[in-house]
Structure 1
């Protein structure tokens, strides 16, 4: 659905190109959330928004979206490695919020295709 699309590959490349942002050991953290927890929270919020914005999605289609979000989460955990469990900093919060929004855009496009 999403993880097999070129846009997703580009987003993963964008993340890997910005991994240096996550190498700071959580200095300046304003919350107890870890990098991975914030990614998961942001992705969950975005997938909920996708489902709410598309009430015509049937049960099977919603499950497909949720499975894809799980796959994205697994990819993120693998890419982030040991930095996934560091406390999140303000700059990382901004990046993660932006990244989750970009992932939502991919889902919006794919869900629109499902419904046509």
Structure 2
């Protein structure tokens, strides 16, 4: 659906261009959010938003969206493997939120193109 689009490739390139934001992250403390926790939280919020904004999606279409998000999380784990368990900084939180919104926009476009036209 989205992971095989040119838009997704551009979003991943955008992440790699900003990888320096994630270098030298502090080690995680027991009471702090990790990079992965924030990624999962932000993507979850966006997926909930996608599904609630597109009530016409069937059960199978929603499952397709969820499977795609799982694939995206896997890609992010691979790309950010060295820092995924580090404490997230405020600057990283801002970037991750922006990144999740880009992913949502890509889903919105693909849902409209594939399912609602």
Q: Quick check: TM above 0.5?
A: yes
TM-score of the pair, normalised by structure 2: 0.93
Q: 1:74 corresponds to which residue? A: 74
- Greater helix share, structure number: 1
Q: How does 1:15-54 map to 2 (within 5 A)?
A: 15-26=15-26, 32-54=32-54
SS at match of 1:100: helix
Please list every run of 5 or more consecutive structure 2 residues that lacks an aligned counterpart in the other structure.
none
Please list every run of 5 or more consecutive structure 1 residues that lacks an aligned counterpart in the other structure.
none
SS at match of 1:84: coil
Q: How many Å separate the matches in 2 of 1:34 and 1:70?
A: 18
TM-score of the pair, normalised by structure 1: 0.94
> For the Cα contact (< 8 Å) 2:50–2:104, is it kept in 1?
yes
Q: 2:116 corresponds to which residue? A: 115
Aligned length in residues: 114
Deviation track 1:52-86 (CA, whole Å, cap 9, x = no partner) reads 00000000000000000000000000000110110
Q: How many Å separate the matches in 1 of 2:26 and 2:94?
A: 14
Could you say what the CA RMSD is over the residues aligned between the two structures, in angstroms? 1.4
